[in-house]
């Protein structure tokens, strides 16, 4: 999740655990601890793909954060022994562990069990969701104004947790809605990703992947019984096979669960993470190889510039969310003209 959310979550937990003993300083401690796992962004792992796939790696692993929580609890206990070591351990452990747990509900991927297993990406909440963050912020504001308003912090945590539960239920409803449409289109068992569109959990995006194409569906809870619109995008399986032996391509395949689109731009071979952003505005595209006289050769990956997003995008998203615009074509990020389809 975004930094503001992690700060608010950490501060809320710390205040609920230790606000009566530490006062406003509990929120400061929780806010700092809540941002600690994300400091891995300052590390340069040597290439764009490495930086992309190592983020939310060791610093988000429960096998690293659990012993770190014990160490930090001991240090804090030496600083403010009146709280007690057990309470300090509860504070540091809860704040540090809830950070990657919350991140795992997003689409990016969180390596909760590093160095073992694959990234966890539940994909039920967008990386910035005001309805999750606002209850936490309100609880913190009440605490700052009238400490130790522990009840306000607990209420904020309860509401945000219930909202997180709603995201899982909503995701399941949308999944059950899109599967029959995909089956009727001949996609019986595709790789399927269902995730919310930006800043909400009312409008959702489903991405179905096969070897030769991927299909996008945008649908929401205000759509009623309107038929689903399927938008098709071709894939190049030959290009994917050509780079499949390169370590950085393998790393990307592992990190994204294969939700990649390979393309050729001049003599460069690129791979795009199609989970994040939308078609035409995917933020993560990497140059993996180049076409040389003796064939395709790997290069140290670099990230291409992020595409510019149309300033009208938020307005279109709102119109689609409310049902004012019944169809949104992702390729052009526009509504089709009357009588036309995407």
The pair phi, psi for residue 56, each rounded to 5°, is 60, 35
Tens-place pLDDT, residues 49-61: 999 999 999 999 9
C-alpha of 2 from chain center: 9
Task: Parse the chain into domains and list their residue ranges.
Answer: 3-122, 235-303
Integer CA distances (angstroms), 40 to 53, 100, 224, 227, in order: 12, 13, 44, 44
| Distance in angstroms (rounded) separating the CA atoms of residues 14 and 31 | 8
Tokens of 243: 């780079």
Tens-place pLDDT, residues 289-340: 999 888 899 999 999 998 887 777 788 888 888 888 888 888 878 888 777 7
Paired residues of 204 in beta bridges: 196, 219
pTM: 0.93
């Amino acid at each position: 999740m975004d930094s503001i959310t992690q700060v608010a979550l950490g501060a809320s937990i710390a205040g609920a655990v230790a606000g009566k003993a530490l006062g406003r300083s509990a929120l400061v401690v929780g806010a700092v601890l809540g941002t600690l796992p994300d400091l891995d962004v300052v590390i340069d792992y040597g290439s764009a793909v490495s930086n992309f796939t190592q983020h939310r790696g060791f610093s988000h692993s429960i096998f690293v954060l659990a012993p770190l929580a014990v160490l930090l609890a001991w240090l804090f206990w030496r600083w403010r022994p009146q709280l007690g070591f057990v309470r300090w351990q509860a504070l540091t452990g809860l704040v540090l562990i809830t950070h990657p747990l919350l991140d795992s509900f997003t689409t990016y991927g969180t390596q909760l069990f590093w160095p073992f297993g694959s990234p966890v990406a539940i994909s039920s909440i967008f990386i910035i969701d005001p309805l999750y963050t606002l209850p936490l912020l309100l609880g913190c504001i009440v605490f700052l104004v009238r400490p130790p308003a522990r009840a306000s912090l607990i209420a904020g945590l309860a509401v945000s947790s219930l909202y997180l539960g709603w995201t899982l239920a909503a995701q399941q409803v949308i999944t059950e809605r899109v599967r029959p449409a995909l089956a009727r289109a001949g996609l019986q068992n595709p790789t399927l990703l269902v995730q919310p569109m930006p800043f909400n959990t009312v409008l959702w995006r489903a991405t179905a992947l096969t070897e030769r194409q991927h299909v996008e569906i945008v649908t929401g809870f205000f759509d009623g019984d309107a038929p689903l619109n399927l938008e098709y995008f071709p894939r190049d399986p030959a290009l994917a096979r050509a780079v499949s032996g390169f370590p950085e391509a393998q790393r990307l395949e592992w990190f994204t669960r294969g939700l990649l689109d390979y393309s050729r731009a001049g003599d460069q071979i690129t791979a795009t993470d199609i989970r994040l952003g939308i078609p035409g505005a995917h933020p993560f595209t990497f140059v993996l190889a180049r076409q040389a006289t003796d064939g395709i050769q790997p290069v140290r990956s670099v990230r291409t510039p992020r595409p510019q997003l149309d300033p009208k995008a938020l307005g279109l998203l709102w119109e689609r969310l409310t049902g004012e615009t019944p169809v949104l074509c992702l390729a052009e990020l526009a509504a089709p003209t009357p009588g036309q389809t995407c």
